[in-house]
Amino acid sequence: MSSWLSSIASIPVRKKLARVSNVPMAKTGSSSGTCIETITLPGRTAGVPTPGTLFAALVVAFSSTALAAQEPPRGSNVPGAELVPLPVLGGDRVTSGSAFNPGISIIVDMVQYHQSGSIEDPAGFEGGHDHGYGHGDDHGLEEGFNLRETELTFTATVDPYFDALATLAFDEHGVEVEEAYATTRNLPAGLRVKVGKFLSDVGYINAQHPHDWAFVDRPLVNEFLFGDHGLQETGVQLTWMPATPFYSQFGIELLQGESDGISPYVGAGRVEHVTVLPDADGNPVRVRWRDDNPFSDESGPRLITGFAKFGPDLGYDHAAQFGLSYGYARAFQRDDLHSSLRYESWEGSAWFAGLDAVYKYDAGRNYGHGDWVVQGEYFYREIDANFREMRFQNGNLEITHAESATARQDGLYLQALYGVAPRWQAGLRAEALGLTNRNALVEDDFFADFGTSYRYAGSVTFRPTEFSMFRAQLNRSDYYDQDPEWAFMLQFQMALGVHGAHKF
């Protein structure tokens, strides 16, 4: 009995070196990144252990075994995922790899919004840009309280080959699938494939959801050059992380091509309009106008993008990432039908290029105190468009004006965040949209030059915990050919359930 108890008191525990505590222990052997540790409790000589010693040894043994059983698979980015061994010659059944299948998170985003006057879209960018609320550039916010978004996310390891994520966004007007994709787990040579609907990895902020933003609203350049939701598409992405002495990633995306700003698509179809006009006797007469639109069908993918990201080694306290992006849309189609029976269409191609940079400093203090984050992006866009103005006459659409032109537009932003105290962060942002602003897509102007629009923002953020956040933000919009206006926002966010770490 005594020898059995003694053997229990010195149980060999197998666990990863990363989990070894700072308490000195006698290591009797190691192999392949693990070690066998003989636990000897202080204050007792070898022999028959006390009940407390026996209980402590059993707890350590059980806890280490449980940790090993729950350890996530190498390379998985899904919380709680556990790898099931591959079947050998079909001998075992392949099952789902998540210990909790799926992981679920809910993020609630509320904003109180007030503006001093009417804030219209920046000059040269108003054509075809619809927020759905009749407001300007603050992501569809109405005066007063807004439940801007409730985000429901599911994550899981599908099997030994794929991880999956699906994000649904609920607001007061309905539900939208923001992202739904699968990623490969262990392709060779640093390769990874993503397939489904996702936010493109061009630039820096485009791949972030609203709750990840450092300010209440997204930068103007991302919203007006790519669309209300940024570059959000269905397609496939291939990334490669080569074995370099610093962080580097290269990616290419084949996308369907339906984003408002860079690749809107209409396709072949019918143009229909109904008018009710009085006849000679004053009686209402209902007339239906119909004709084929001038577009042709273009099969997808219609948009291809590429990006490269680099992160030099700056030591423990400093980090930086620099990026290059490019995209080409082989089909750019947009139209607009007016109540006056005038119909306008734009058809051609488009491309964009951009630069982004992020720098972060970790002061090593509690809860972000003294930390710095500085980031900025610049994007340039060209659209080669054939413009047609048509009217319903004699029962058909007839061209009244046509010309070809190239729209050239760009924009940038620069922002800085500083941890003024534990859990408190202050931020400043400056933006310029339309440094180059020659647009062929504005109604009635056909081809026109516009000036630059500017916006400035200051914010203060408080995070009681990592699961809740309060933010106050003040914007000043100084748009070309508009009076300066102010906007004030109060934001509250809370997160429930599983929520993985954010990207750099």
CA angle 159-160-162, nearest 5°?
65
Domains of the chain: 2-70 (no CATH), 103-497 (2.40.160.10)
How far is Cα 302 from Cα 255, in angstroms, rounded to an integer? 6
Is residue 102 predicted with pLDDT exceeding 90? no
Q: Cite the DSSP H helix spans in 269-384.
A: none
Using DSSP, state whether 366 is helix, strand or coil.
helix
21-25, 106-110, 314-318, 420-424: least confident range = 21-25
> pLDDT higher for 395 or 102?
102
| Burial classification of residue 20, based on how many CB atoms lie within 10 Å of its CB (0-12 exposed, 13-18 middle, 19 or more buried) | middle
For residue 443, the model assigns a pLDDT of 56
For residue 380, the model assigns a pLDDT of 98
Q: What is the mean pLDDT of the chain?
A: 81
Q: What is the pTM of this model?
A: 0.77
Span 420-425, average pLDDT:
98
Q: What is the percent of the chain where pLDDT is above 90? A: 58
CB neighbour list of residue 432: distance below 8 Å, 6 or more residues apart: 411, 412, 413, 452, 453, 454
For residue 70, the model assigns a pLDDT of 41
pLDDT in tens, 267-315: 999 998 888 878 778 788 888 888 899 999 999 899 999 999 999 999 9
| pLDDT-derived band at 459, boundaries 50, 70, 90 | very high
User: Dihedral of the CA atoms 60, 66, 67, 73 (nearest 10)?
Assistant: 160
64-78, 202-216, 274-288, 299-313: least confident range = 64-78
| pLDDT-derived band at 440, boundaries 50, 70, 90 | low
Q: Which long-range contacts (CB under 8 A, 24 or more apart) does 76-80 make?
A: 76/157, 76/163, 76/185, 77/163, 77/500, 78/103, 78/155, 78/156, 78/157, 78/163, 78/165, 78/500, 79/103, 79/155, 79/498, 79/500, 80/498
Span 252-275, average pLDDT:
92
For residue 87, the model assigns a pLDDT of 43
User: Dihedral of the CA atoms 66, 67, 70, 72 (nearest 10)?
Assistant: -170
For residue 283, the model assigns a pLDDT of 83
Give 483's DSSP letter: -
Residue 184 vs residues 158, 159, 237, 238, 369: alpha-carbon distances, Å: 10, 10, 11, 10, 37
Is residue 39 predicted with pLDDT exceeding 80? no
| pLDDT-derived band at 498, boundaries 50, 70, 90 | confident
The winner for highest mean pLDDT among 52-61, 135-144, 357-366, 445-454 is 357-366
Is residue 14 predicted with pLDDT exceeding 70? no
For residue 322, the model assigns a pLDDT of 98
55-64, 97-106, 139-148, 191-200: least confident range = 55-64
As a three-state string, the secondary structure of 97-126 is CECCCCEEEEEEEEEEEEECCCCCCCCCCC
pLDDT in tens, 148-189: 999 999 999 999 999 999 999 998 888 999 999 999 999 999
